[in-house]
């Protein structure tokens, strides 16, 4: 199982579509192992986006991410990072395919509704930033109906 951080960004919260976006991840079969509504501080935004600190869009990104609460999620599943990134669609929502979150709900490159970790290393770092208290592990019975163990063992 792999874990990833998902942020339902301020535009998703303000538009009142967080439930619909969360449903997409759950319907795909990803398990929620941590979730909270939170206000990102400038300090947390700075740590989260430190790789972009020298980029011209950085100040606007921090301002946007601290402008309203977000819903932070840690999701778990086989190949969760790739699965979530496919569900989200391209960064520029106008270029995202129909059926993706950004393709169905977005119109902007900047206000693109959702963040997802882009690698296992980034996921571990980001989950630690947003859930320093850890995550909840439970016996998710649907897992037996999501994955074919014979197929998964071949990988």
Helix ranges restricted to H, 41-107? 42-48, 58-65, 80-88, 101-105
* Residue 52 annotated to the active site: no
CA gap 119, 34 in Å, rounded: 19
Length of the chain counted residue by residue? 155
Q: What is the distance between the terminal CA atoms of the chain, rounded to a whole angstrom? A: 13
CA gap 31, 79 in Å, rounded: 12
Catalytic member of 3, 9, 102, 115: 115
CA gap 85, 4 in Å, rounded: 10
Please give the positions annotated as active site.
115
């Amino acid at each position: 199982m792999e874990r990833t951080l998902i942020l339902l960004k301020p535009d998703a919260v303000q538009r009142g579509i967080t439930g619909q976006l969360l449903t997409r991840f759950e319907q795909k079969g990803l398990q929620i192992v941590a979730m909270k509504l939170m206000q990102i501080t400038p300090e947390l935004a700075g740590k989260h986006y430190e790789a972009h600190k020298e980029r011209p869009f950085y100040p606007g990104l921090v301002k946007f991410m601290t402008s309203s609460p977000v819903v932070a999620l840690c999701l778990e599943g086989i190949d969760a990072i790739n699965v979530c990134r496919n569900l989200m669609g391209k960064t520029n929502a106008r270029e995202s395919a129909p059926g993706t979150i950004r393709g169905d709900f977005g119109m902007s490159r900047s206000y693109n509704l959702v963040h997802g970790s882009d690698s296992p290393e980034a996921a571990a770092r980001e989950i630690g930033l947003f859930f320093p208290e850890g995550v909840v592990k439970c016996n998710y019975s649907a897992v037996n109906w999501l994955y074919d163990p014979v197929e998964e063992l071949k990988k």
